[in-house]
Chains A and B, each alone.
Chain A
């Protein structure tokens, strides 16, 4: 007998037609799956009542184990047990700076990241998909039915490549992705912040090994990411480490084997967790040499010990606030995400910093998955259409390369998606028949400072004078944040398009820092753009004047006049070799002025030529 769930008024589905939709938090350390039951988002548990599934996959010769079942192999068979695969998503082999620091072997022959396991080469997408398969299975067993769709969360700073990789992994796992949404957005949705009219919220996410802070602005049901910041290697694990170090120093233990080190960390972790509830905690550690250490720690010393770590999270908040040009007073709410935020001194420190009560009554490990479940429930059509569909925004701007190595932005960052924008471009040289479209992502003005996503060529442009051809370039981002670009020559309607299968190769740190740099270097970028534009203008006028001189110079100008113009060209040419924007602009002006009369004469002559031999009534004026 099926067990029934309560529907919203008038929203009862027909029997056998329940749409089971889940939200998935695919985390670096742990993953969760959640759904909405009787209007209430709940975390789905596996057979052993676990809600947090470790993001670990073990590839044995004849078996694949995921989650808790894979845990024992971390020590037994580290080479075939993959952890934190999320850090590899959407990256290439060359992104791994220190392959020797990992217990696994990478395939050097491939540009992609491929890990050698006893089941052969494994791509991060495959490994992620094995985690997703496990989550899908938990959901299907728990809900007694097939899953129609899933909403999967990704960090706000994930770029196109990383989002695409996540989507590919879901496809491989047989999941229908309803949408990818940003983790901070999901956390805000879990607290029902999307039901408010508007507001500015800070999402403080301190996980096991990463720290992210995001500032979201809600307006008309749309969350906009105003700023993100963080620390790629700061999390609850560092607090464990600090306690472990302290135990070592206090007891003067120098040499520890691998097993002892792990045992020490485990004890440190349990001390940390006890101190969240209790004022003091005690533990007995048995070392492999038979020695027993009894160690107790009180809250006060724990807080002192880890004060610096807590402070380390404040700096990124300040930076995010200044990026978003916001003061502490303008923040309407602070959402706490990640298990590490349970620590009392983090709670009090953040509360003091913002001078505001925190949103922390949901389980911080589950918040993101619960929000994703709510979103999945709405997207699967289980709720009425009146409920606002939450939209996301693009994290970085997208554009194309133009002359002089500059980036012309077509879709600006924080545009709500899905979105399509078009812009017209033209040819630079006479008779140009092809145009290369270089798609870039980033906030900076110069191509070399942005990330190259794709490159394609529009051919068969009919030969015309420079500037006459019209090429419309359209950028389109679908609801998952994936990009397609097309270019169309408007007189022939010849079109070329590309779906960006991005050339993987940018680390998370780089993306976060790209955004930061764009703010810090805004001034510098502006100057570079001005210089580049001045140079292009200078070059173009030289070409034009030289062409005219070669053609009609002798006829229309005296030798002295030609000499003066040629000198001006030389002056401009040499200033083009420098980076002196003002000089280039000045010399361009000079040349323009000098050739004004020459240009007028040229004009007269061409009019004369056009009229020559025609009776006056045949001329269309």
Chain B
């Protein structure tokens, strides 16, 4: 299994990273809070950690810590536009239930 990006997400990320001027990639993670158990986190990465699992998709490095990976392995990160809002979306095959807003989930 692995973590991957859709081409659209990769294109956006490249732009954001370039604009930010620094950073080696993107960190995907899971936090144990939220109304449905766990929540996704999405952060820029300046320094990789020794325990990081590193994936690469469309030339962009994705860092995931092993604890988070068990919950999101196989996830494809997409970039979407919904009406006027735009942002990233986790297509996570491990999810059993999601809260209404999609920010938190249970496995």
Contacts and interface: CB of A to CB of B under 8 A. Distances in A.
Q: Are A and B associated in one complex?
A: yes
Interface of A: 1-12, 14-16, 37-40, 44-47, 141-144
A294 B52 CA distance: 68
B103 interface: yes
Nearest to B80: A3
24 contacts: A1-B89, A1-B98, A2-B87, A3-B88, A5-B87, A5-B88, A6-B13, A6-B43, A7-B43, A7-B44, A9-B46, A9-B47, A12-B29, A12-B41, A15-B34, A15-B39, A15-B101, A15-B104, A16-B101, A38-B87, A40-B16, A40-B19, A40-B20, A143-B85
Contacts of B45: 9
A345 B88 CA distance: 42
Given A4-B103, A9-B45, A39-B19, A14 B39 contact: yes
Given A15-B103, A39-B44, A3 B86 contact: yes
B35 interface: yes
B104 A38 contact: no
B31 interface: yes
Mostly, the A contact residues are loop
Contacts of A47: 84
Nearest to B36: A15
Interface string B1-26: 00000000000010010011000001
A176 to B, nearest CB: 21
Interface in B93-107: 98, 101-104
A40 B29 CA distance: 21
Contact of B41 (A2, A7, A143): A7
Interface string B46-89: 11000000000000000000000000000000001011111111
A16 B35 contact: yes
B34 A6 contact: no
A588 B88 CA distance: 81
A6 B16 contact: yes
B62 to A, nearest CB: 12
Contact of B87 (A37, A39, A44): A37
Contacts of B16: 6, 38-40
Given A1-B89, A16-B103, 16 more contacts: A2-B102, A3-B82, A3-B88, A3-B89, A4-B88, A6-B16, A6-B26, A8-B43, A9-B44, A9-B45, A14-B34, A15-B35, A38-B87, A39-B19, A46-B84, A144-B85
Interface residues of B, number: 35
Given A2-B102, A4-B103, A10 B87 contact: no
B102 A142 contact: no
A382 to B, nearest CB: 13
Given A1-B98, A4-B89, A141 B83 contact: yes
A4 B13 CA distance: 13
B70 to A, nearest CB: 19
Q: Quick one: which of A1, A37, A39 has the most chain B CB within 10 A?
A: A1
Contacts of B43: 6-12
B57 to A, nearest CB: 15
A138 B67 CA distance: 39
A46 B13 CA distance: 24
Contacts of B29: 12
A45 B34 contact: no
A37 B12 CA distance: 12
A16 B34 CA distance: 8
Contacts of B44: 6-9, 39
Contact of B84 (A7, A10, A11, A142): A142
A17 B73 CA distance: 26
Contacts of B84: 44-47, 141-142
Q: Quick one: which of A2, A12, A44, A141 has the most chain B CB within 10 A?
A: A2
Q: Quick one: which of B29, B40, B41 has the most chain A CB within 10 A?
A: B41
A2 B20 contact: no
Contacts of A3: 80, 82, 85-89
Nearest to A14: B33
Contacts of A4: 40, 42, 87-90, 103
B50 to A, nearest CB: 16
A145 to B, nearest CB: 9
A120 to B, nearest CB: 33
Q: Which 10 A-B pairs have the closest CB atoms?
A: A3-B87, A1-B102, A15-B103, A142-B84, A12-B41, A15-B34, A15-B39, A2-B102, A2-B101, A4-B88
Q: Quick one: which of A9, A15, A38, A141 has the most chain B CB within 10 A?
A: A15
Contact of B31 (A12, A39, A143, A144): A12
Nearest to A41: B19
Contacts of B13: 6
A347 B65 CA distance: 50
B19 to A, nearest CB: 5
Contacts of B88: 3-6
Nearest to A39: B20
Contacts of A141: 83-84
A190 to B, nearest CB: 13
A216 B103 CA distance: 43
Contacts of B83: 141-142
A8 B43 CA distance: 5
Contacts of B42: 4-7, 12
Nearest to A142: B84
Contacts of A6: 13, 16, 26, 42-44, 88
Contacts of A142: 83-85
Nearest to A192: B21
A555 B87 CA distance: 96
B65 to A, nearest CB: 13
Contacts of B47: 9
A414 to B, nearest CB: 31
B17 to A, nearest CB: 9
A11 B23 CA distance: 14
B47 to A, nearest CB: 8
A326 B52 CA distance: 53
Nearest to A40: B19
A379 B64 CA distance: 30
Contacts of B33: 14-15
Nearest to A47: B84
Nearest to B99: A15
A357 B90 CA distance: 44
A44 B83 CA distance: 12
Contact of A14 (B27, B31, B82, B102): B31
